[in-house]
Amino acid sequence: MKKLIVLIAAGLAISAIIGAQEQARHKVLISVDMEGIWGVVHGDQVSSEGRDYGAARKWMAEDVNAVVAGLFEAGATEVVVNDSHGTMRNILASDLDPAAVLISGTPKPLSMMEGLDRDCEAVLFIGYHARAGSASAILDHTISSATIRAIKINGREMPELGINAALAGAFGVPVVMLSGDDETCAQAKTILGDGFVAVAVKSGLGRTSARNLPRTDSLRLLRAGAKEAFLKRKQIPPYKLTPPYSFELDFHNSAQAELPLFVPGVKRTAARSVAFSADDFVEGFRLMRALIALAAS
């Protein structure tokens, strides 16, 4: 009888420990782009064929590592980093904080937001850029500079940060921090409000020129910003749009609007524009990405 009681007690103790460990899990997703990384000002720095790409991808890892450090200091237990630029294999795994999980390569079902799920407590956008057509913003574009002139969702023109924030909101997850140039931070505030943490690591002087913060300052601000953002995550509401969701894609030329019309439910609204609606934002997001791929082909 005593042995049975001991076994039961041991089992309860183990269950309590496992339960406590599960409760203590704090997962965070970092979606990292490249145009908004400190030091980046030109296309040569964000293309694998550019002569300055090697230096920029190191700066990218450094920015992310500063953010990862701040998150762990604030109590995060699992940090997932999704490489979200171009071919999505820019960060060298050996350069990333070994305590972080790296998602690399493309295509991915959720693209820039791969790794997002309802277990995430927060999302951070690092190295993001302004929407296409923004003045004094580094390498401004929306998803595809060769294809997309503008994207509207529910009638509002969206930068990538708004589209991805809405996707996070569909999972009930708030965006708590963004870094990039000053214009990108300003656009984020108009969409997400003032509650989240915005860290401007540079000020745009034009599309391919910027005034960068001293490197030590930028890394310090990124680390401190991530820590602050995670600690206030419960005070920041997810960014949610109201269904049904209307998507309108404005391409650069009329030919790019032709292949998307082969998809049922997609209608032409102008010579170079198509539109569709969706009741589920995740499905709408995936269809949008598919239409952009068709337009680019």
- Domain residues for the domain of 103 are 25-141+159-235
Report the catalytic residues.
Answer: 141
DSSP string computed for 218-254: HHHHHHHHHHHHHHTGGGS----PPSSEEEEEEESSG
83 and 213 both lie in a single domain:
yes
Residues 223 and 251 reside in one and the same domain: no
Longest dimension (CA), the chain: 82
Write down which residue in 235, 257, 281 finishes a domain.
Answer: 235
Distance CA 38, CA 180 (A): 8
Q: Same domain, yes or no, for 129 and 266?
A: no
Sign of the CA dihedral running 71, 26, 37, 44: positive
| Average pLDDT of span 211-224 | 98
pLDDT for residue 24: 82
Assess whether 173 and 292 both reside in one domain.
Answer: no
Is residue 171 assigned to a domain? yes
Q: pLDDT tens, 241-290?
A: 999 999 999 999 999 999 999 999 999 999 999 999 999 999 999 999 99
Residues 35 and 95 in one domain: yes
User: At which of 235, 261, 280 does a domain end?
Assistant: 235
Q: Tell which of 235, 268, 287 closes a domain.
A: 235
Q: Is the pLDDT of residue 229 over 90?
A: yes
Alpha carbon distance 56, 85 (integer Å): 12
Name the nearest CA neighbour of 256 among 204, 213, 293, 229.
Answer: 293
Residue 84 falls inside a structural domain: yes
Residues 218, 257, single domain; the answer is no
Q: Evaluate whether 53 touches 46 at the Cβ level (below 8 Å).
A: yes
Do residues 137 and 129 make contact, with C-beta atoms less than 8 angstroms apart? yes
The CATH number given to whatever domain includes residue 170 is: 3.40.50.10780
Number of structural domains the chain divides into: 2
Predicted TM-score of the model (pTM) = 0.92
In angstroms, rounded to a whole number, what is the distance separating the alpha carbons of residues 7 and 112?
A: 48
Is the per-residue pLDDT at 14 higher than 60?
Answer: no
Q: Are residues 65 and 120 in the same domain?
A: yes
Residue 201 lies in a domain: yes
Tell me the CA end-to-end span of the chain in Å, nearest whole number: 73
Write the burial class of residue 57 (CB in 10 Å: 0-12 exposed, 13-18 middle, 19+ buried).
buried
Give the pairing of strands 148-153 and 245-251: antiparallel
pLDDT tens digits, 142-177: 999 999 999 999 999 999 999 999 999 999 999 999
Q: Are residues 102 and 163 in the same domain?
A: yes
Both 287 and 165 in a single domain?
no
42 and 77, same structural domain?
yes
Average pLDDT over residues 184-206: 97
Beta carbons of 8 and 58 less than 8 angstroms apart: no
Answer yes or no: do 103 and 174 share one domain: yes
